[in-house]
Amino acid sequence: MVERYVFIKLRQEHASDAGRAEVAERSRALASIAGVTSVRVGLPADEAASGSWDVSIVLSFEKLEDIEPYRTHPDHRSFVDEFLAPRMEVIKAWNFQV
């Protein structure tokens, strides 16, 4: 199994409880994309985390080869390009074998 860890820093005007909640809610819909076996969304639990990141997303896949079709899927592209890009300052993602 592979997990993809995504960390998002929102632009200041979206880095509020409501802004984070909106991104978290929309992120959960990524579970419907082929190849994704689960999605967990997190919000900062303490001051140190909130100073660096606003939302974390952990996506699970059966194998590493499932990630590229996910990344290019129209629903994922729409989420990132149309919804997330105007709201975010930084996004980082890493894949780990678990």
pLDDT band at 75 (very low <50, low <70, confident <90, very high): very high
How many domains are contained in the chain?
A: 1
Mean pLDDT along residues 43-72? 95
Range of the domain at 29: 2-97
pLDDT band at 50 (very low <50, low <70, confident <90, very high): confident
48: CATH: 3.30.70.100
Mean pLDDT along residues 12-20? 95
Mean pLDDT along residues 88-92? 97
Q: Please identify which residue in the block is written with the tokens 């990132």.
A: 80
51: phi > 0 → left, psi -120 to 50 → alpha, else beta; which?
Answer: alpha
